Structure 1
Amino acid sequence: MKSYKVETADLVEKVYSSIKEMILKGELVPGQKLIQEEMAAHLGVSRTPILSAFSKLEKEWLVKSIPRRGFYIYEMSREEKINLFDIRLRLESLGAFKAAELGTPKEKKALLSYVEKNSSKDFSTSSSGFNQHDYEFHRRITDMSRNVMLSTMISSYNIVSLSNQDDRTIDYSRSISDHLAISRAISESDAAKAEGLMRDHIQTGLDRIQGV
C-alpha cells in the first residue's frame, strides 16, 4: 500500500508538470475549458491523477474550477495582472540582488551564456519560444538567490504572468536587452545594479498593462 501511494503521488506530479508545461508553451490558453477525459487520453493516464493535478494547479492560480461547469485555464482580469506585477516587482528585484550576492561564479557565467545564446533569436515569430526563454531566465536568477520560498513563489507567478500576457504588446528586443543587462550586473556581483535593473524590467511590463 505504501509503494502504491508513492507511485500515485509521483504520477500526479508528472501530470501536474506536463499540464504546467503545456500552459507555459501556450498549448492551453486562458479561458480554455479542460476536459478531464481528453486530458487523460492525451497524457495516457486515468482521470484520478488529472483531477488531483487540476486541484494542485488551482492553488497556483493556473486553473480555475467553476461549480457545475468544470475546470478552466485561469484568465486574469486587468486588476489581477496589475496586482501580480506589483508582487513580482518587489520579489524579483530582491531575487536579482541575492543572485548577484550569493550566486557562484559558475552559475553567473552560465546565466550570462544562456542569455547571450538566446539574444540573437527572433522571438517575434514564436511567442511560446520567448515564454520558455523568459521563464528559464527568471528561474535561474531566483534559484541563485538561495531562497527556496522566494524561488517557488516567483516560479508560479511567472507562469501565470506569461500565460496571461498579450503577446502583441511585447517589445522582444527590449526584453532581451534587459535580460543581458541584468545578467551582466549579476555576473559582476553588482547586487544594487542588478536589483535596480530587474525592478525597471518588471516595471516596464506593469506599465504595458496599465497603458502608460
Structure 2
Amino acid sequence: MELKIIQNNLSGEAYKKIKLMILEGVLKPGEKIIQEKMAQSLGISKIPLIQALSVLQKERLLSYNHRKGFTVRKISTHEFHDLLDLRGVLEGLAAKRMAYNLNDDMKKHLLGFMNDFIKYRANNNYKKYSELDKKFHFYILENSGNSYLPHINNSFNLLILIYSKGFKSELDASLDYHKMIITAIMEGRGKEAAMLMEEHFEKAKVYF
C-alpha cells in the first residue's frame, strides 16, 4: 500500500489513509499507533497526524489513553451484536428500496455478485468471498435510492467496526442468504428482501 500523501489537506488525507488501514486490517484491534512511525510512513508531521487520530477517536475507531496513546479500538460482543442489529435494519430498508427501484444495470451487477459468491464458495476461497461481501453490502446501500442510508452507514463506520472485529460467517449459510436476498430484490419483492436482510444479520450473531 502506498502511504505517502501530497502535502495538501494533510490531516484530512491522513484520516482517510488510516481509516482505510483499519478497514483493510492493516491496523488491527488493540494495536497501538506509533505516531513517529505513522507520520514517517505518511510523509507528514505529527500535528496533522494527531488531528487525524483525534477525529478517528471521536468516530470510535480509535481509543486514547494518556499512557498508551492511540490504539485501534476493540469492540465487545454486546456492541458487535448491536451493530449487526443496526446494519440489519439499515440494509433491510436499502434492499427494500432497491427492489422497488431496480433497473437493468442494477440487475446486471446483482447477477454478477451472485455468480461470484457461488464461484468463491465452490473454491472455498474465504478471502475473495469476504472482499466480495463487503462490496455487495456497500452496493446495496449506495443503490437504495435513499441518499441518507450510505451517509448514516459511513457516519457510524458500521462496516469498518464489524470487519475490523475479524468477523467470519459460515460460508454456506452466508451464500444461501445472499442468493435469497438477491433473488427477492430482482423479483421486486421488497418486503421479503428486507426481512431476509435482517434475518441474515441476526443469524450471523452465532458465528461471532
TM-score, structure 1 length as denominator? 0.81
**Residue 138 of structure 1: aligned partner:** 137
Unpaired runs of at least 5, structure 2: 1-6
User: Is 186-195 or 28-37 further displaced after alignment?
Assistant: 186-195
SS of structure 2 residue aligned to 1:34: coil
| Deviation for aligned residue 1:124 | 5.7
| Deviation for aligned residue 1:33 | 0.6
Q: Is the 8 A contact 1:92 1:154 kept in 2?
A: no
The 1:108–1:55 alpha-carbon spacing in structure 2 relative to 1, beyond 3 Å, is farther
Query: Larger helix proportion, structure 1 or 2?
Result: 1
| Deviation for aligned residue 1:130 | 4.1
The 1:81–1:112 alpha-carbon spacing in structure 2 relative to 1, beyond 3 Å, is same
The amino acid across from 2:35 in the alignment is Q
For these two proteins, the number of residue pairs brought into alignment is 199
The 1:23–1:187 alpha-carbon spacing in structure 2 relative to 1, beyond 3 Å, is same
| Structure 1 segment 6-155 matched on structure 2, within 5 A | 8-9=8-9, 11-121=10-120, 126-127=126-127, 129-155=128-154
Q: Is the 8 A contact 1:105 1:187 kept in 2?
A: no
The whole-number CA distance in structure 2 between the counterparts of 1:77 and 1:90 is: 20
The whole-number CA distance in structure 1 between the counterparts of 2:12 and 2:115 is: 32
Per-residue CA deviation, residues 134-173 of structure 1 (Å, 9 max, x unaligned), is: 2211110011112232212324201101111344xx2123
SS of structure 2 residue aligned to 1:120: helix
| Deviation for aligned residue 1:117 | 2.3
SS of structure 2 residue aligned to 1:87: helix
The amino acid across from 1:153 in the alignment is I
Q: Is the 8 A contact 2:120 2:129 kept in 1?
A: no
SS of structure 2 residue aligned to 1:33: coil
The whole-number CA distance in structure 2 between the counterparts of 1:117 and 1:19 is: 29
Q: Is the 8 A contact 1:15 1:49 kept in 2?
A: yes
User: Is 47-56 or 73-82 further displaced after alignment?
Assistant: 47-56
**Residue 164 of structure 1: aligned partner:** 165
User: Is 13-22 or 138-147 further displaced after alignment?
Assistant: 13-22
SS of structure 1 residue aligned to 2:120: coil
User: Is 26-35 or 60-69 further displaced after alignment?
Assistant: 60-69
Give runs of ≥4 in structure 1 deviating > 4 Å. Answer: 122-127
**Residue 207 of structure 2: aligned partner:** 208
SS of structure 2 residue aligned to 1:31: coil
